[in-house]
A and B are shown apart, each in its own frame.
Chain A
Amino acid sequence: MLRLPPLRYEAPSTLEEAVALLAEDGALLAAGGSDLVPNLKRRQYPTARTIVSLRRVADLVGIRVESDGTIRIAALTTLATVVEDSRLPKVLREAAGAVASPQIRNQGTVGGNLCVDTRCDWLNVPDTWRQAAEPCLKAGGEMCWVAPAKKDCWAVSSSDLAPVMVALGAEVQLIGPDGRRSIPIEQLYRNDGMAYLTKTTEEILTEVVIGPHAGLRATYRKLRRRGSIDFPILGVAAAVRLDDADICTEARIVLGAVASAPLRVPTSEEVLVGRTYNAETIAEAAEAARKLARPLNNTDLTSRYRTRMIPVFVRRALEELG
């Protein structure tokens, strides 16, 4: 059986205590733990010493919908709760429902999914495998097995909620040693497989806020071989606003699982904005997405296949919104 390494477990009752604990060497933050625990069992965090669980912190669970339509989701709200909350936009409920399996959605959280570690076929294997080859960059080594010529880590952003939240223009609340701050969620992510979040390790994501979004049409599609359970090998979130004349006034298209961060596709967005939303502009926007992303061979199926599916996925997402 795969077992956890020896660890200290802390479950403080306040965020301030949690922030203080996270300042210690080898401290790792745990929300639902559904991704963290298997990663720990595969010994992906050799420096881990302490798990800081947010389980006992009050007020980190729940969804509030304010009178102006603003949605506030506390970080430890489970994915299952999001799926079942009929007040939430369909796109959010569907994206949450596309994560893993019913059992894992009962455990996994919104904050956990937004901050989920990047993944790579060469990294997410047991330590016996990592030790057999030279360790890769993210495992503390000198080279990347996926792109040996590069000096960067290409581990894949594998969150289903992240592209959707970026498309919806959400903001996240963070608390850290210097107090609280709020940033657009797009700025939470960095296209670097190792340092994929801009927040410091001592900062805790406490809440995600989706501002008023009346009239915004949004959808999310997730590609993978099985009908359930697996991480995305491609995700597309699209949000558009159309005026009465079917002119697109706002568009956000975000790709998941093709880079180390959710990837906005400005080339596609530019095609749409200001133009009539019809099959022709959709096709043009979909084609414009092809050029941007360069997925590598580090998930299920080939990068060639995933690359080819990007315009198909973007087109289908946009068609659904028409």
Chain B
Amino acid sequence: MTTRTTPRVRGGVGTSVQRPDGEPKVKGNFAYASDLSSEDMLWGATLRSPHAHARLVKIDIAPALAMPGVHAVLTQDDVVGAPMFGQEDQDQPVLCDGTARYWGEPVAVVAAEDEETARLAAGAIVVEWEPLTPVDDPEIAVEGGSTFRDMRIRRGDEAAVGPVVVEGFYETATQDQAPLGPEAGFAIPDGEGGLDLYITSQWIHVDHRQIIACLDMDPDQVRCHPAGIGGAFGSREDISLHIHIAMLSLATGRPVKMVYDRSESFVGHVKRHPSRMWYRHEADQDGNLVKVTVRLIFDGGAYAHTSRAVIANAAFFAVGPYRCQNVMVDAAVARTNNPPAGAMRGFGAVQTCFGAESQMDLLADALGLDPLELRRRNALGPGDAMATSGQIIEGSLPTIAVIDALESIPLPDPIASDDPLLAPGGTGLTTPVSTVVRGVGYAVGLKNVAFSEGFDDFAEARVVMTTAGVEVHTAAIEVGQGLVTVCQQIARTILGTDRVAVVWSDTSQIGSAGSTSASRQTQMTGGAVHDAAKGLRDQILSVHGGDELRDDGVYARDELIATISEICADGPVEHHVRFRHPETFPPDENGQGDVHAGFVVAAHRAVVDVDPELGLVRVVQVDTAQDVGKALNPQAIVGQLEGGIMQGMGLAVMEELIIDGGVIRNPTFTDYLIPTFLDAPDIETRIIEEGDHWGPFGAKGIAESPTISSTPAIVAAIRAATGRELTRVPVRPSDIVGI
């Protein structure tokens, strides 16, 4: 008989477990998709459209095919299955179908013995183009009725008026996810007409669905395996080279590798929608919002991708985490000849948070109120109705708590004169400390978790007890956010053992986990692992008549009654779950309804030092308080908060794809600027744990929140320092100087 008390399992929920991929990534040992190779492989390369809009008059692949070492040159004529792909709407041809609709659209793909030959062969294809005028202004596209979706929200009384009115026009530029790992894929023929694809993806099952449709193959003929990812942020939610490498591999019977170069990556994935936003806020004299009127135009680029969901999100979060009875939103996402836009961290809520929070500051000014006090007065909480959809907030939403926690963080000291590198201008030594002006700004942001509007959103997981430990089987993608540890921690806590391994499964072995996006995997796959582990535990306890599962077996009243070997006497024991979040519904014609599954709120405070004469900004500190439900892994949360703030800071002061006539003018890391380590602010975080109603242990997904309100907080701080209106992000030095 054993007398020990219940052991506390190591590495369970609530501890800062180290990520298994952390050390290999730092040491350079992590196998990214671009590291995959085999001796007999071919290299793929892509010929792209040199026009934003053009008719393909004639294409001659013969010169490329004639080159030594070239094994295949494929065009749209070689697509045997569905000619089009797309996650929501299948509207994009696999390869150019006679009209190029954006600059860099894939026209033909080549497989050759080596990378340089493939590249040269792509260049040897002769194409005759008839250039057409590109539509590069989304407003003109909307006027012409060329949209992917128009969203209309009508809540309350359109005729309502408030005595205090503020209006503004806001713009956000095109931000790129700029993942360090470029698009990469590896296709291996199985010798029986099928394929194994090793791809970078945020959702291998939805990629699989699109791939087999275009290849006209049965689901079990193609197996999609997740390959090592160097960042995603939404850029891998849509197909890039996946179908191309499959076609090349089938055509040649050889493994095919394709890796985009950095510049190709900039045209090879969807970006954050640039936006134009017209806002009117009306309030009473106490600062209570009376009516918010919003018009949004987002540029979706040439193909749909996730534009329809993005514009809905932008519209539903157009007011922010505030109560308001009367809300009118007219939103449209335009179809243009600009680079296609799609998912990026924050998914539409980033743009409207910039507009809405800029408005809240204007309103606070107009009322002579403290900006945080105005936000507290209007704060949305549990039981309140969403200003836009009217949905009643279930679960937790600690809007006031995050504002209070943020305010309690001490402000940083004034700029020190002893380290000139920490002044605006950095190593350029542009700015005497005496000329620096400091500003402080705030913003609060609201975001939904998981998929909305009635989408059948689920995640599958299988938890398996073996004599060697527990395996968690999932197709959920780890993009670097820390999902593997979260799954391990949940299983450990429920199953009483620290021996838990997460096994990435391919599309033939397990059902979909849904997308690694929308801040959803901690709650969705985490929820599936939670329920599967609990089901497995209950099943084992019931079979053996125990009351507790520990590392070494089943216990009844503190006595070991069945060892792990005995539990697994007939082989591994498993439990499989398909987890669904609370049901959501499509909005009605007025945009009303229970469209979202859950909500998460965060607040940011930015402190900036500005050189007003040069227009240079140093972001000194960005603090945040984040609603997390329950902190499953506190260190992973801090990592997400810091990384998200860096991305939000990028949009605030530097990240912008310059697009001219549909052409990206800065497709390199020399010219597309992302914050360097010297630009990185100090960051203080506060974690607010008010358990939610459906996440595992009450946890919420938090991946997007830090990117949403950090941008407007930084801009508010620059406004405070300079007195400039600053209605566009990124804020440029010339905007601050006023030229």
Residues of A within 8 A of B (CB): 1-3, 5-6, 38, 42, 94, 97-98, 101, 121, 124-126, 128-129, 131-132, 220-232, 300-302, 304-305, 308-309, 312-313, 316, 320
Contact = CB atoms under 8 A, between A and B. Distances in A.
Nearest to A227: B426
Given A226-B426, A228-B426, A305-B739, A300 B673 contact: yes
Nearest to B613: A312
B116 interface: yes
A230 B673 contact: yes
A97 B421 CA distance: 11
Interface stretch (B18-26, B258-266, B281-289, B709-717): B258-266
Q: Which 10 A-B residue pairs are closest in the complex by CB-CB distance?
A: A227-B426, A132-B50, A222-B428, A227-B678, A305-B734, A126-B263, A2-B261, A228-B678, A228-B676, A98-B427
B613 A94 contact: no
Contacts of B678: 226-228
A301 B663 CA distance: 17
Contacts of A1: 34, 115, 182, 259, 261-262
Given A38-B670, A125-B665, 18 more contacts: A98-B428, A101-B676, A121-B665, A128-B48, A129-B667, A131-B50, A132-B50, A132-B51, A222-B425, A223-B430, A223-B614, A225-B733, A226-B673, A226-B675, A227-B618, A228-B677, A228-B679, A300-B671
Interface string B641-679: 000000000000110000000010111101101011111
A97 B425 CA distance: 13
B263 A129 contact: yes
A73 B591 CA distance: 70
Interface in B408-462: 421, 424-430, 432
B183 to A, nearest CB: 11
Contact of B676 (A129, A131, A227): A227
A305 B737 contact: yes
B322 interface: no
Contact of A227 (B667, B679, B732, B737): B679
B427 A126 contact: no
Interface in B66-88: none
A126 B663 CA distance: 13
A129 B65 CA distance: 24
B615 interface: yes
5 contacts: A129-B263, A132-B663, A222-B425, A227-B679, A228-B676
B103 interface: yes
A213 B426 CA distance: 28
Please indicate which of the listed interface residues A220, A222, A232 has the most CB atoms of chain B within 10 Å of its own CB.
A222
Interface string B103-115: 1000000000001
A129 B50 CA distance: 8
Contact of A225 (B34, B429, B654, B668): B654
A227 B429 contact: no
A128 B666 contact: no
A309 B673 contact: no
Interface string B726-739: 00000011100101
A228 B673 CA distance: 11
A301 B432 contact: no
A30 B116 CA distance: 23
Given A101-B676, A226-B654, A2 B671 contact: no
Contacts, number: 124
Contact of B263 (A2, A221, A231): A2
A110 B65 CA distance: 47
Interface residues of A, dominant DSSP: loop
A308 B428 contact: no
Nearest to B34: A1
A121 B672 CA distance: 12
Nearest to B427: A98
B679 A124 contact: no
B428 A121 contact: no
B164 to A, nearest CB: 36
A98 B670 CA distance: 16
B415 to A, nearest CB: 14
A126 B261 contact: yes
Nearest to A235: B428
Given A129-B667, A227-B679, A316-B430, A301 B733 contact: yes
A302 B50 contact: no
Nearest to A100: B427
A5 B430 CA distance: 39
Contacts of A131: 50, 123
B617 to A, nearest CB: 9
Contacts of A128: 48, 50, 263-264
B116 A6 contact: yes
A121 B671 contact: yes
A8 B388 CA distance: 64
A126 B615 CA distance: 30
Contacts of B618: 227
A222 B261 CA distance: 30
A125 B432 contact: no
B673 A308 contact: no
Contact of B734 (A42, A220, A228, A301): A301
Given A227-B679, A304-B734, A132 B668 contact: no
Contacts of A300: 671, 673
A302 B678 CA distance: 24
Nearest to A126: B263
Interface in B104-151: 115-116, 119, 123
A230 B261 CA distance: 21
Nearest to B679: A227
B685 to A, nearest CB: 23
B676 A229 contact: yes
Given A3-B115, A227-B679, A302 B734 contact: yes
A229 B654 CA distance: 14
A6 B115 CA distance: 11
A166 B421 CA distance: 25
A285 B618 CA distance: 29
Contacts of B34: 1
A38 to B, nearest CB: 8
A232 B494 CA distance: 57
A41 to B, nearest CB: 8
A200 B667 CA distance: 33
A222 B429 contact: yes
A18 to B, nearest CB: 27
A5 B660 CA distance: 29
A5 B48 CA distance: 20
B739 A308 contact: yes
B407 to A, nearest CB: 29
Given A3-B116, A312-B614, A221 B428 contact: yes
Contacts of B182: 1
B676 A221 contact: no
Contact of A222 (B424, B430, B613, B667): B430
Contacts of A6: 116
